[in-house]
Chains A and B, each alone.
Chain A
Amino acid sequence: MKVSYFPGCTLKNKARDLDEYARKSAERLGITLEEIPDWQCCGGVFTTAKGEIATKLSSVRALKYAAEKEQPLVSVCSACHNVIKQTNYAMKTDSDFAKKVNNYMAEETPYNGETQVHHYLEMLRDLVGFDALKEKVVNALSGKKIAAYYGCLLLRPNSVMQMDDPENPKVMENFIKAIGADPVVYAMRNECCGGYISLESPEFAKSKSNAVIENAKAQGAEMIITACPLCKYNLIKNGADIPVVYFTEVLAEALGVKEDTNE
């Protein structure tokens, strides 16, 4: 199976391992991530204001490309996924917005939210299946206590993201089980790490990130996994004394493709 893949700016730079492990692991699972040519940065955060058209065009162009290929659009970065999914929802449900976008883009065929948008975790759950993933595991992370950190962007706003129960999510815990490890459930797993505030208020971000780290450790976590480069940065910068890694890294390790990857 082939899917359209939107890597995003950080996966080409500071989060190269998130991208490399995702591609290698997907290949092993029978899915090819076909990078959308000439994709443009998603902007990092979705602007909810109605008059914001230009800031969403890069997402629409990626979505339209996937629609023409008749492929689902997959991304790994939580932020890219959030922005693209919310933009797609707006194209589908806000006819005034869609009309303005289509009028500006002046393409032969208009785009109205037809593309299926999946986060890589949803691809694992819904297109591969966790049972099938489990069968491909050659290096189970048996006994490893792993805390899933969802943060904000994978789950909210739930009316649009529709990934999981936003207050009691299971997709990452089920992923952790599939690779043979033990999920650690803790209260702060869907609370904010501080996000972009770490740029101008590092102390504020520190208090948010610390609350997440301490809560995960108190529940016995030996490792935290995330899909978001900014969450990872904030947790590590603010004193995580257990490893904080991308979920694709433990996936690649379990599938035995980690060593083939050029970090």
Chain B
Amino acid sequence: MNKDFIQEEILRASGVNPKKCMKCGKCSATCPAYDEMEYHPHQFVSMVENGDIEPLLSSESLYKCLSCFACIDRCPRGVEPAKLVEAVRLAVVRQQDKNHLTANDIPALLDDETPQQLLVSAFRKYTK
């Protein structure tokens, strides 16, 4: 993907202005998925700002965000990092054959109590 185009597309789709970030790190400090991530929420903000998006596109970090909205609510500058994570993830899963989860994966992951909400949420986040 063209580098300038992908940056423009992610900024447009997320509605985020990364220049507002004052680098306090609160988004990463409050992120429940911090320990699981290769790139943390504050790094998504600076990497998108710098157009350094290629590493994010291939990172498993895209699928670790829990959509808990903690970084969105607790950012003192209203940057809303999770919206960038979402926009980058969509840029990936919208491509042909780039779904992170398929229906064939599901039977092995179920137990007797799995709520429908778990499946629809995972598909909404991981699949197009």
Contact = CB atoms under 8 A, between A and B. Distances in A.
Q: Do A and B bind each other?
A: yes
Interface of A: 8-10, 13-15, 41, 43-52, 55, 77, 79, 152, 155-159, 166, 191-192, 194-201, 204, 208, 228-230, 232-233, 236-237
5 contacts: A14-B116, A48-B14, A49-B83, A152-B70, A157-B69
A200 B109 contact: yes
Contacts of A152: 66-70
A49 B120 contact: no
Interface of B: 12-15, 32-33, 36, 63-64, 66-70, 72-73, 80, 82-83, 86-87, 90, 101, 109, 111, 113-125
A137 B13 CA distance: 49
B68 A195 contact: yes
B125 to A, nearest CB: 6
Contact of B120 (A9, A46, A50): A9
B116 A10 contact: yes
Contact of B66 (A47, A50, A166, A195): A195
B83 A43 contact: no
Contacts, number: 128
Contacts of A159: 73
Contacts of B121: 43-45, 79, 195-196, 230
- Which 4 interchain pairs have the tightest Cβ spacing? A44-B121, A156-B69, A44-B120, A152-B68
Nearest to A191: B32
Given A194-B66, A208-B32, A45 B124 contact: yes
B2 to A, nearest CB: 18
A230 B86 contact: no
A155 B115 CA distance: 21
Contacts of B13: 49-51
A199 B119 contact: yes
A195 B33 CA distance: 11
